[in-house]
Amino acid sequence: LASSGKYAYICYENLHLHVCIFGVLVVYPERVTTCDEHTVHRLSCDGTVISVVSSFYGRADRVTCSAGRPAAQLANTACSLPGTLEIVKTRCNGKRICELNAKIFRASDPCYGTYKYMDTTFICLPAIHVIACEHSAAHLGCDPGQIIVVHGADYGRRDQTTCSYKRSASQLQNVYCSRPTNKVAESLRNTVLAPSCANMFKCISGDYMEMRLLA
């Protein structure tokens, strides 16, 4: 997705389709920078959902997160961890709040001895929220002349209240049992989750928007 503040190109791709559409959206990029001594990199949108534009872990200049640091820790400005953008998009797109533990990036140190930081630019997009419990269907719809653009979806269980009706406590207890998914139009029965999720009653939670194709 590319944005200039008022206009946005949105590209949506799956195994069968690649569509780029142009529409009028009042969106303004937001930027979050987290220095390496902090644990949590937090993105949030108020009533809308996150769409990550760029994300970087490493060091690209000598000024950002430089307070109190010796020159030797700031010298390497060509330091970046490959794959950071893909990780952040997978974990954060389509969510209203996304908190990333910086340890997942520090584990693969791209430049030992350099003091690093995480920098993410994102926009907040309007979205329709949908939840479907296990063994039921999620219905996504839009008006004629429009297409559905899925921001993101998760499958599993993240709390004890969603899809909890007539379920035993043992089926709701593991709230760390979910993973992002792009399967919003097919069965999730065979989606691989951790063994501890085997007996949990799950749901799919996703956000999407309607976009009108311009002639």
pLDDT in tens, 94-122: 888 999 988 888 888 889 999 999 999 99
Task: Count CB atoms within 10 A of the CB of residue 88.
Answer: 24
* Domain spanning 2-125, CATH architecture: Sandwich (2.60)
The most confident of the ranges 109-118, 125-134, 149-158 is 109-118
pLDDT average, residue stretch 169-187: 74
The torsion angles phi and psi of 99, rounded to 5 degrees, stand at -115, 120
Q: Where in the chain is the domain with CATH 2.60.120.740?
A: 2-125, 128-212
> Which pLDDT band holds residue 132 (cuts at 50, 70, 90)?
confident
Under a CB-based contact definition with an 8 Å cutoff, are residues 116 and 58 in contact?
yes
The reported pLDDT for the residue numbered 3 is: 43
Q: What does the alpha-carbon distance between residue 162 and residue 201 come to, in Å, rounded to a whole number?
A: 10
Q: Which class is domain 128-212?
A: mainly beta
Show the DSSP H helices in 82-191 as ranges.
Answer: 84-92, 103-106
Does pLDDT of 81 surpass 50?
yes
Does pLDDT of 53 surpass 90? yes
